[in-house]
Amino acid sequence: MTTQTEQQNDYITPVPNATPFERQWQQLWQDIELAGGRYQYVQQQLVKNGFMVDRQPVDKMSPKERDRYKKALKKEAAEERILKKSAWQAYKAHHIVHLGHQVYWSDDTSADKWDIKDASNRLIENKLPLLNKHTELADAVNLTVPQLKGLCYQRDVATNLAYSHFTIAKRNGTPRQIWSPIPRLKFVQRWILNQVLNNLTTHDAAHGFVRGKSIVTNAAVHSNSELLIKLDVKDFFPSVSWRRVKGVFRHAGYQEQISTLLALLCTEAPRQIIKQDGVTYYVALGDRALPQGAPTSPALSNIVCLNLDRRLTGLADKIGLRYSRYADDLTFSLPVSSQKSTSAKSDSDTKHNQLIGQLLGSVNKILREEGFALNNDKTRVIRTGNQHNVTGMVVNGSGVPRVSRQIKRMLRAAVHNLESGGTLRADETLNTLSGYAAWIASAEPELGHSYLDRIERLHVQQETSA
């Protein structure tokens, strides 16, 4: 669980500092609410300031009286336009009004036919914050209404985003696009994660980014297998659109407006970066979806995949396989039979091939129906006699998952070399060695922590000699 210190280091609490103009509109909106609404406020101000003209028939007026009467009406109309404009500015400072292209929004918070029955009770049962208005959400995440609207607003072409962009290399060398939220948005997303998403249901087959689970628990499902099938979901996060995310919050018990805002806060459109005349433009390439880099994306993907995991678990049970999912990695395995088979190897291979064909056909169908697609280039079938590796852990035999011998030998040699006065390779640092040691510790705590202690001593030696 994340500690308070870690949270403070990870994001910055936003300060809802309203600008002087925002404070002016907020005060004006309070006056409008006291008056009973914008129309009532305008009428009251016209009377209070002496601009309201009593309507009279003009056919009995003298020319001079008619001229004075028309001038008074013009002054009233001019003042009414000013008051209406100010009242509208105050309304916009306290309401959402509009959220951009292809995003439906209404400030009307009355119930609709899509609301969950007994929604408040469902929120209470799930221990979720009771939020009914956009102002309540803004207060909960320490934002002003304009700040909240700014983080949610959808722009097809933007010069500023609430995300910073960078890339990291995938295993195959291609770049992975990372969109990291700015501190203010990251705080809001962490709040949504801790207060809402962590209280919603995920399937037992999900092991990625789930409390109490890890790559080790995911790998342990597939220990002692005679057949391992590893699949990958194509464009996993981008396949989860903001409307699917809104469905998560609707199903949790939130009404249309709150669900829309929460979904927009957790999603962003895939964008192309274009520079022209010294200006950087971020051009939307499609609908908003889960961004790679937002703290809410893994939890939301697990919740969205609840039905997918149910169906794939049912499929695996039906054909005698085991199933688990770690983010976009789907793993199926055939456990070693407790009874010795007397059939020829060719017969066994034939049965395995039939099983694999049945599995792949069914998985493809289920994924399509659940809004995903299989990345066929990453499908791997590993048979008996080969190393069975699941989320980086070796699961051959009935023992606990473990890091491969190659990694252990590499780490042992690197640490020994440093302790003997040697140097690291160009692609190695003490931090990378610590990462390997922590990886080992996740499955073999005693061995891993012994390496971590030795690496820590090397850190101290380096700092002392510097």
pLDDT in tens, 288-326: 999 999 999 999 999 999 999 999 999 999 999 999 999
Dump strand ranges (E) for 153-197.
157-158, 163-169, 175-181
Tokens representing 398 are 């009935």
**pLDDT tens per residue, range 75-92:** 999 999 999 999 999 999
What integer pLDDT is reported at residue 338 of this predicted model? 57
What integer pLDDT is reported at residue 5 of this predicted model? 37
Task: Please say whether the dihedral angle defined by the alpha carbons of residues 34, 40, 46 and 47, taken in this order, is positive or negative.
Answer: negative
Angle CA(180)–CA(182)–CA(184) in degrees, nearest 5? 140
Who has greater pLDDT, 337 or 133? 133
pLDDT bracket for residue 202 (50, 70, 90): very high
**pLDDT tens per residue, range 93-141:** 899 999 998 899 999 888 787 788 888 899 999 899 999 999 999 999 9
Cα gap 128→44, rounded to integer Å: 42
**pLDDT tens per residue, range 272-294:** 999 999 999 999 999 999 999 99
Residue 32 has pLDDT above 60, yes or no: yes
Who has greater pLDDT, 264 or 347? 264
pLDDT bracket for residue 4 (50, 70, 90): very low
Averaged confidence pLDDT in the chain: 90
What integer pLDDT is reported at residue 11 of this predicted model? 54
Residue 422 has pLDDT above 80, yes or no: yes
pLDDT bracket for residue 255 (50, 70, 90): very high
